[in-house]
């Protein structure tokens, strides 16, 4: 399992990074990105803390990536926020997409897929084919999520992504220990979104490719 969207106590998660990573190892994770919620008020603090979690790679058989989830930042400011996050050392930049269960500002999806600095658009709700085509052009991955509520539009996201040629990933949006999943469960989530087994395997392999690129 490779999971590129999780949270620690440095935003609204329940676990400090060391416990989050330890529990991920038990679930068979090969890599995990800790992507705490961030905006312009806290991004320096979040990344300063999360980059220290890299020490766990020295003693555990897992890759640990420090990142952020840009959350409820006005669309006009997402580009600046993504660039700043990368400049501060974020290895993974996730944007909190237009999920149907939160009042995310319209235009968030559009602003996010136009940016090469964004790695993943999380739970993008009723993303449009035009937005998915832009995501494909800019190598922004669209998230199929195991997170309750956000996952209500997984089928739509998967369908539109494959029509547009956009790449998908399966992530958990973990906030508490029980949110972590195995690779087998991740495959079932992708299949549940309407993908064939071959397509689901390809989606999970996309996460491995992202990690490989970060560790070149």
Whole-number pLDDT of residue 30: 97
d(CA 202, CA 38): 30
CA 39, 173, 204 angle in degrees (round to 5)? 120
DSSP E strand stretches across the chain: 2-6, 31-38, 63-70, 92-96, 120-122, 141-145, 168-171
Whole-number pLDDT of residue 216: 85
146-160 pLDDT, tens digit per residue, is 999 999 999 999 999
Whole-number pLDDT of residue 16: 98
Whole-number pLDDT of residue 1: 97
d(CA 97, CA 161): 14
Q: Which residues of the chain have pLDDT under 70?
A: none
32-55 pLDDT, tens digit per residue, is 999 999 999 999 999 999 999 999
Whole-number pLDDT of residue 160: 98
Whole-number pLDDT of residue 197: 97
R_g over Cα of the chain? 15
User: At residue 94, what are phi and psi to the nearest 5 degrees?
Assistant: -110, 145
Whole-number pLDDT of residue 37: 98
């Amino acid at each position: 399992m490779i999971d590129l969207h999780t949270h620690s106590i440095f935003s609204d998660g329940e676990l400090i990074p060391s416990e989050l990573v330890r529990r991920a190892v038990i679930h068979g994770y090969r890599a995990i990105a800790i992507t705490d919620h961030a905006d312009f008020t806290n991004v320096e603090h979040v990344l300063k803390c999360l980059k220290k979690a890299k020490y766990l790679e020295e003693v555990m058989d897992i890759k640990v990536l420090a990142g952020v989830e840009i959350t409820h930042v006005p669309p006009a400011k997402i580009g600046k926020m993504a660039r700043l996050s990368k400049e501060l050392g974020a290895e993974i930049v996730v944007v909190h997409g237009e999920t149907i269960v939160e009042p995310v500002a319209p235009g968030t999806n559009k602003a996010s897929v136009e940016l090469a600095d964004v790695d993943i658009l999380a739970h993008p709700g009723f993303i449009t084919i035009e937005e998915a085509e832009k995501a494909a052009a800019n190598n922004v991955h669209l998230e199929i999520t195991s997170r309750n509520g956000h996952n209500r539009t997984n089928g739509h996201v998967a369908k539109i992504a494959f029509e547009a040629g956009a790449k998908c990933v399966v992530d958990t949006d973990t906030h508490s220990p029980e949110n972590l999943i195995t690779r087998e469960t991740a495959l079932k989530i992708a299949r549940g979104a309407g993908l064939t087994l071959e397509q689901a395997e390809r989606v999970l392999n996309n996460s491995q490719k992202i990690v490989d690129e970060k560790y070149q």
